[in-house]
């Protein structure tokens, strides 16, 4: 759920733990984390130090957005990062050096939100309305696809993520496509005025990426990190209640416990790399190119396929990788 600007590296202050040497692979690694509710595998790995049995010491640092974590990774400040798939599309189109190791989870409950100024019963209800979104992000992409499919037009208003709920409350916009982390705030703030419509054209993929140097020079370390996350996934599947508690402990009260529990079923927690992700990246890349945000690049499977480094995940489960 990220903005398109990746041409410059954000000024993120983060020191890398440990160092790579030619004689031994890294065992101290750094990970830029996103919302731990989105990827509970890493919450379990952090909560129970699943890294230890695999000989890894991991420093996981939270970032406000996946985009900023990705910028830090490209800038050499991180070994791995968690983010939505959208920045990876931009990175591939710009020829940056990184690899996608796994889709960690999939958010399957996207929606359009509105106040009571419109009767939001379908996408057609958005015709002629003012719709707030954050321009150049995956929620903007989602909105454009919805409007195009429905054959309707609306006025799209650019709103910063923290301002989108207040804009709905004030009536500056009639509806919005926002990042899922703001859904709860919109519902609380609008109360009886809150309206929503569930959509199925887009599901956010949260991916785990690594630097090209890490993937090429430290393959055993990459395998160990993925193995620890795979153990985290087993715990997520076998004990959802404990995994929700782990998210709460790792996030240190960022989410209300009731919200963690209610949101849990909106995710598919499974580490995969498949053609669905690849095809989504192609769609997003075509949209980015059509807007003129990145010029001179043709969005095709052949462009993104080399960035999907499924060889590591395939060693942990051949059925988890399906790429053509």
Following DSSP, what letter does each residue of 115-147 receive, concatenated? -TTS--SSGGGGTT-EEEE-TTSHHHHHHHHHH
In a shared domain, residues 218 and 313: yes
Which token pair is 57? 């010491």
In a shared domain, residues 98 and 127: no
In a shared domain, residues 229 and 310: yes
* Domain's final residue, options 198, 224, 245: 198
* Domain's final residue, options 198, 227, 249: 198
In a shared domain, residues 207 and 310: yes
What range does the domain containing 251 cover? 28-108+203-322
What is the distance of C-alpha 221 from the center of its chain? 23
The pLDDT tens digits along the chain (324 residues) read 444 444 433 333 333 333 333 346 879 999 998 778 999 999 999 999 999 999 999 999 999 888 999 999 999 999 999 999 999 999 999 999 999 999 999 999 999 999 999 999 999 999 999 999 999 999 999 999 999 999 999 999 999 999 999 999 999 999 999 998 899 899 999 999 999 999 988 999 999 999 999 999 999 999 999 999 999 999 999 999 999 999 999 998 888 899 899 999 999 999 999 999 999 999 999 999 999 999 999 999 999 999 999 999 999 999 999 998
Query: How much is the pTM?
Result: 0.89
310 falls within a domain: yes
Beta bridge partners of 157: 132
In a shared domain, residues 243 and 304: yes
21 falls within a domain: no
Determine the 3-state secondary structure of 284 from DSSP: helix
Distance CA 48, CA 214 (A): 24
Q: Are 31 and 79 in contact (CB under 8 A)?
A: yes
Q: What is the dihedral of CA 122, 125, 127, 131, to 10 degrees?
A: -90
The domain that holds 138 is classified in CATH as 3.40.190.10
Distance CA 319, CA 47 (A): 28
Pairing assessment for the beta strands 111-114 and 57-62 based on DSSP bridges: unpaired
271 falls within a domain: yes
Q: Who's near 106: CB < 8 A, 6+ residues apart?
A: 203, 204, 205, 206, 267, 268, 270
148: left (phi over 0), alpha (psi -120 to 50) or beta: alpha
11 falls within a domain: no
In a shared domain, residues 136 and 264: no
Distance CA 159, CA 162 (A): 8
* Domain's final residue, options 152, 173, 198: 198
Closest CA to 81 of 110, 106, 55, 58: 58
């Amino acid at each position: 759920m990220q903005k398109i600007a990746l041409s410059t590296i954000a000024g993120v202050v983060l020191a890398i733990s440990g160092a790579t040497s030619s004689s031994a692979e890294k065992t101290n690694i750094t990970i830029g984390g996103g919302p731990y509710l989105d990827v509970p595998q890493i919450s379990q790995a952090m909560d129970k130090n699943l890294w230890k049995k695999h000989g890894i010491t991991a420093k996981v640092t939270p970032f406000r957005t996946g985009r900023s974590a990705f910028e830090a990774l490209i800038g050499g400040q991180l070994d791995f990062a968690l983010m939505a798939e959208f920045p990876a599309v931009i990175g591939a189109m710009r020829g940056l050096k990184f690899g996608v190791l796994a889709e960690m989870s999939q958010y399957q409950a996207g929606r359009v939100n509105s106040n009571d100024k419109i009767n939001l019963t379908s996408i057609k209800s958005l015709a002629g309305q003012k719709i707030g979104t954050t321009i150049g992000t995956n929620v903007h992409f989602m909105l454009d696809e919805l409007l195009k499919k429905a054959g309707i037009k609306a006025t799209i208003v650019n709103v910063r993520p923290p301002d989108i709920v207040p804009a709905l409350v004030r009536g500056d916009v009639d509806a919005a496509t926002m990042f899922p982390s703001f859904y709860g705030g919109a519902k609380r703030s609008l109360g009886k005025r809150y309206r929503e419509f569930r959509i199925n054209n887009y599901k956010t993929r949260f991916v785990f990426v690594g630097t090209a140097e890490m993937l090429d020079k430290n393959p055993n370390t990459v395998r160990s990190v993925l193995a620890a996350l795979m153990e985290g996934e087993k715990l997520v599947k076998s004990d959802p209640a404990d995994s929700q508690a782990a998210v709460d402990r790792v996030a240190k009260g960022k989410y209300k416990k009731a919200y963690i529990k209610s949101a849990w079923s909106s995710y598919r927690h499974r580490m995969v790399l498949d053609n669905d992700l690849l095809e989504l990246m192609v769609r997003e890349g075509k949209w980015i190119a059509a807007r003129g945000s990145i010029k001179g690049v043709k969005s095709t499977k052949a462009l993104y396929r080399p960035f999907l480094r499924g060889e590591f995940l395939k060693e942990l489960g051949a059925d988890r990788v399906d790429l053509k």
